[in-house]
Structure 1
Amino acid sequence: MAAQSWRDSLRAARKTAVVQDGKRKVHYLFPDGSEMVEEYGVSNDQLSVRKWRRKSQLGSQGQWQVEVGEISSGTFGSLEQQLIQENSSNPIFTRKDTKTSFQWRIRNLPYPRKVYSATIDPEQRCCIVRTSNKKYYKRFNIPDMDRCGLPLDSSALSFTHANNTLIITYQKPREILQQEQEVLQELKKVKVAEDGDVECKTQ
């Protein structure tokens, strides 16, 4: 999907906005029935959450899939919560962006920095994190880059390690930065409901 068609898709979506707890929460309903929810800081316009819910082939609503932000405990049932607690020492992979970069944190990785590597697979359009001691391996894509059809650039990828956490950073290209500014301007045209979810339309 090219950048322009993604912007057009966002404009075509039915949008609902509400401000709560210092965050602007926006719900998108797309023509195909899929939904996206985003949360932005009111003071800094920083995206903190993006999650998707798509309909199954049979037309039923699927589960929410988190793209950006932490998975809240309310997302899971009690049995799953217990399983997560039991495995709390396992690596935890989350995405938390900054204004200028896509960023991922992998917690509970105690190995020294020298064992890690972060590379790009241009054909599979994904990032690969691995350790030379073969204790950890992870492949993940960057949906924002995929939606805009932009190639991945190895020089934009870097990582640091501290406090048992590996932080992977991919610098956003100019096209993404420009698009995000345009999307923010569109969102600021959406009338915000002061309380509760009220359907709103863009101007």
Structure 2
Amino acid sequence: MRHQKTSFDPSKRKIHYLFSDGKEMAEEYDLKTDELIMRKWRHKSPLGAQSPWQVEVGEPLVNTPGSQDSDIIRESCSNPVFTRKDTKSSFQWRIRNLAYQKDVFSVFVEPSERCVVIKTSNKKYFKKFCIPDLDRCGLPLESAALSFTHANNTLIVTYKKPKEILTGEQELLKELKELRGTTEGDCKAQ
């Protein structure tokens, strides 16, 4: 892994990573809180074309008006929206547009599939998702670290970060703070 580019705008630190297997990762951190705002991945196809960005943390990328996909049929704005937003001490997922009571939801770890499962007793919503950070570190999923709450039509699922992840994030943050980045308008002298 190597840092290809680091840049700052007034409120964010952006880091772009290139990996030896051809994958790319881009991260954005809030400069005031040092919290991860977005992490997205992409890779090259066997023929060398770039795949679209896959958002792991943060709001999903939306199509801008005038883009090719904007005129195609799209999802209803009342469909559930699944996003991940991490905090300093936990991984957190938010599913908006779920207008059920908390007791309708069942959230649990499925150790054999290494994923978290969300389902409703009325069979209106079902979702399985993995925690890539734990998979990359080879750490097991712990049921005791999982919790959830529901408010304002949003289900919030929280998984407490293991010590190994917290330590790794602190070391990475120290390293990132030492990087010198470019700001908007910087250019190399020719």
Instruction: Specify if TM > 0.5.
Output: yes
Alpha-carbon distance change, 140 to 115 in structure 1, aligned in 2, over 3 angstroms: same
What is residue 4 of structure 1 aligned with on the other side?
A: none
2:52 is aligned, of 63, 79, 88, to 63
Aligned counterparts of 1:33 and 1:59: Cα–Cα separation in 2: 9
User: Which of 103, 117, 120 in structure 1 is aligned with 2:92?
Assistant: 103
Distance 1:137 1:16 in 2: 39
Instruction: Give the secondary-structure state (helix, strand or coil) at the position aligned to 1:155.
Output: helix
Q: TM-score with structure 2 length normalisation?
A: 0.91
CA contact (8 A) 2:90 2:160 kept: yes
How far 1:89 sits from its partner (Å)? Answer: 0.6
Rate the CA distance shift 1:72–1:131 in 2: closer, same or farther, 3 A: same
- Cα deviations across residues 76-127 of structure 1 (Å, max 9, x unaligned)? 945457644x511110000001000000000010011111010001111000
Residue 170 of structure 2: which of 174, 181, 191 is its match?
A: 181
Q: What's the % identity of the aligned pairs?
A: 57
Q: Is the 8 A contact 2:63 2:70 kept in 1?
A: no
Partner of 1:7: none
Per-residue deviation at 1:61?
0.7
| SS of corresponding position for 1:184 | helix
Provide structure 2 residue ranges, at least 5 long, that are not aligned to the other structure. Answer: none
Q: Are 1:17 and 1:198, in contact at CA under 8 Å, matched by a contact in 2?
A: no
Q: What amino acid is the match of 1:40?
A: Y
Higher helix share: 1
- The residue matched to 1:188 in structure 2 has which SS? helix
Alignment gaps of 5+ in structure 1? 1-11
Q: Check conservation: 1:18, 1:196, Cα contact below 8 A.
A: no
Asked whether the equivalents of residues 160 and 166 of structure 1 are also in contact (C-alpha less than 8 Å), the reply is yes
Q: What are the superposed Cα offsets for residues 175-202 of structure 1, whole Å, 9 maximum, x if unpaired?
A: 1000000111121222111225879xxx
Aligned to 1:128: 117
> Could you tell me how far apart the structure 2 residues matched to 1:185 and 1:123 are?
35
Please identify runs of 4+ aligned residues in structure 1 that moved more than 4 A.
196-199
Change (3 A) 1:198 1:182: farther
Match of 1:14 among 3, 6, 16: 3
* 1:21 positional shift: 3.3
Instruction: Supply the distance in 2 between the matched residues of 1:109 and 1:128 (Cα, whole angstroms).
Output: 15
RMSD: 2.0
Larger displacement relative to structure 2 (91-100 or 186-195): 186-195
TM-score by length of 1: 0.86
- CA 35–89 in structure 1, closer or farther in 2 if over 3 Å, else same: same
Q: Which residue of 2 aligns with 1:25?
A: 14
Amino acid at match of 2:80: P
CA distance in 1, matches of 2:93, 2:71: 23
Structure having greater relative contact order (Cα 8 Å, sep ≥ 6): 1
Matches of 1:155 and 1:127, distance apart in 2: 12
Structure 2 CA distance, aligned partners of 1:44 and 1:110?
32
How many residues align? The count is 187
